Amino acid sequence: MMKQILIALLISASATCFAQSFVLGDVNTDWFETEEGANGELYDYLNANANPVSGRKVIAFYDFDLREHPCHYGRSYEGGVYYEMNSCEEEGGDNEKLFLPADTDIDKLKAWIETFAVLREEYYTSENFSWQNGTYAPHGEAGCYYTISEDQYGRKVVEIYCGC
């Protein structure tokens, strides 16, 4: 019995030691040149460049449109990635969240955000953005703001607010 426990511990320890951190991969810059990519929406980007493992889950609809247009929805992707959009508030902008595995490499995630943000914003360059108090933000008020946090499960959460 002791031998089996020791073998199990060695296997789990070696798996932990050799496990690589999760990486989103390089941003597919060519996608932004397509008709679908012209608007730079993260949801569309993920649908085209990640492998969905679920359909879109509608959480809420706009109050005024008789359940025709969802304002809060989410979708799961391979690798433990989950996307959520909430634009139900009448005032303000869009609020997106991208949930990533706990072992996501933060430096690579920041580089991914920096590339995606510039490609998403048609008239911006990397000089228009900077990291300010943990948020990758445009200089000025209008645009998309990217913040990385951790949820109660240890997952990395990229919160994106686009508005003025």
pLDDT digits (tens, 9 = 90+) for 32-77: 888 888 778 899 999 999 999 999 998 888 877 666 788 899 999 9
Q: pLDDT-derived band of residue 153, with 50, 70 and 90 as boundaries?
A: very high
pLDDT recorded at residue 20: 53
Identify each DSSP E strand in 6-133 by its residue range: 57-61, 70-77, 81-86, 94-100, 129-132
Distance of alpha carbon 134 from alpha carbon 110, whole angstroms: 10
| Statement: residue 133 has pLDDT above 80 | yes
When comparing pLDDT for 25 and 45, which is higher? 45
- CA angle at residue 53 from 26 to 50, to 5 degrees? 15
Least Cα distance to 127 among 111, 114, 145 occurs for 114
Mean pLDDT of the chain: 81
Neighbouring C-beta atoms of residue 61, cutoff 10 Å: 16
Query: Hey, is 36 helix, strand or coil?
Result: helix
- What is the identity of the amino acid at 32? F
